[in-house]
Amino acid sequence: MKLFIYDHCPYCVKARMIFGLKDLPVRLVTLLSDDKATPISMIGKKMAPILQKDDGSYMPESMDIVHYIDNHHGTPLLTGKTNPAIANWLQHVDGYRNKLLLPRFANADFEEFATDSARRYFTDKKQAAMGDFTALLADSADLIAQLEDDLQHLAPLITSPEAVNGTLSEDDIHLFPVLRSLSIVAGVALPSNVEAYRNRMAQRCDIPLLFDMEQ
């Protein structure tokens, strides 16, 4: 199987996670940010992740891929209950996290930005939606302080470094990609159990954190 991704993309991380958790082989193919033709030829639109199955057919949408792999390749792993408090925490942080992340993604050494045109495509598109990246980077201090406060509220929700609720569930598939993305933001202090969870999930999923790109 092949999984077409952008490395920075949390939705792509969701799809990557299930392969790592189940120790299933998959070939990762990183699309250039400005490559519209390849995904359109597969599924009729520009998006990622896209799974190419063994039969050659294509499947988009991160959670569809997660459910397909979990339910059709070995014993299902995502059997735990979900906690509405995790979804609420993620929804709250979603309100501002991209102001921290997108300017840093645009400057980082991701494969999807291997050409100047690919990086420019991403930067222009995201600045049109979020505002000037230079200004957002200059305003990081207040958002980092807010994030650190929110991480303190996350800490009591984490039951174990092996799974946020003690048993692997969809909450892990939604939470880890956000925590992984935030590892690109320099100077963020995580509560010890949040850090332990993030590190352990990175190990279990075989998905590196972004410390070598932190800004």
CATH number at residue 21: 3.40.30.10
Contact (Cβ atoms closer than 8 angstroms) between residue 209 and residue 183: yes
Establish if 78 belongs to a structural domain: no
Q: Which pLDDT does position 108 carry in this prediction?
A: 98
Q: Which pLDDT does position 133 carry in this prediction?
A: 96
- The residues with which 175 forms a beta bridge, in sequence order, are none
The domain total for the chain is 2
Exposure of 79 by Cβ count < 10 A (0-12 exposed, 13-18 middle, 19+ buried)?
exposed
Whole-number Cα distances in Å, 52 to 4, 59, 66, 140: 8, 6, 13, 38
Reference 177, options 97, 121, 103, 104; nearest CA is 97
pLDDT > 70 in the chain, percent: 100
CATH number at residue 188: 1.20.1050.10
Average confidence score pLDDT of the chain: 97
Omega before 49 within 30 of 0, i.e. cis: yes
pLDDT > 90 in the chain, percent: 100
For residue 199, give its domain range: 84-213
Q: Using pLDDT thresholds of 50, 70 and 90, give the confidence band for residue 181.
A: very high
Are residues 88 and 60 part of one domain? no
Tens-digit pLDDT profile for residues 11-55? 999 999 999 999 999 999 999 999 999 999 999 999 999 999 999
Reference 174, options 88, 95, 79, 51; nearest CA is 88
* Amino acid at position 194, single letter: V
Establish if 168 belongs to a structural domain: yes
